[in-house]
Amino acid sequence: MTDNRQYEHDLRALLRATDWFMRALCVVRECNPPDWLVGGGVIRTLVWDWLHDDSTPTPLNDIDVAYFDPTNLQSNRDLEIERTLYHLMPKMPWQARNQAAVHLWYERKFGFPVESLASSEDGVGTWPETATSVAVRLLDDDDEFLIVAPCGLNDLFELVCRRNPRRVTEQIFEQRLADKQIVKKWPKVRVVHEHPKEGSSC
């Protein structure tokens, strides 16, 4: 196991070397939705492609933009932000989600209720797998990164696909494995079903 600081260093270096991702972060910073973070599958895909020495990038389903705006819980708030992002950087699969409103629609989509979230970081801590519970923000000072990883970075960099038990059921996890063809895309990935190691907040 590598020290988390080394993984943070590696993540910063990889993101800085990925021109389109840096442009995307600059665009979200310009749009500046409250408490914004970019992460989830997009970071997982970048890291796992890199760890597989894959010169052909895996196509992205979306670029998740989490933000937290308890003053406006309407669903069209997400659409407004997505439209702004599309205007600033077209042809990117933007997906904005107000983490303050997730509890209002989650049961309708997934069949069971969830508690309201306290922040965007709190939302990242509920994302489906520990390796996707990672997000970043580009800060104003010297383009430094804020890295948010409530479950740590070990699973992401050690190619472990593990269910985040905070919100995702085994059934949803298995369906995601099948739908996203995780092992087919990244054959070095190890799928595990036990909960994260001690020290994780997930």
pLDDT for position 197: 53
Q: Give tens-digit pLDDT for 65-120.
A: 999 999 999 989 999 999 999 999 999 999 999 999 999 999 998 888 999 999 99
pTM of the model: 0.92
pLDDT for position 4: 82
Domain boundaries, the chain: 4-189
Place domain 4-189 in its CATH homologous superfamily: Beta Polymerase, domain 2 (3.30.460.10)
- Whole-angstrom distance, CA of residue 137 vs CA of residue 97: 15
pLDDT for position 194: 66
Instruction: With a cut of 50, list the residues of the chain below it in pLDDT.
Output: 198-199
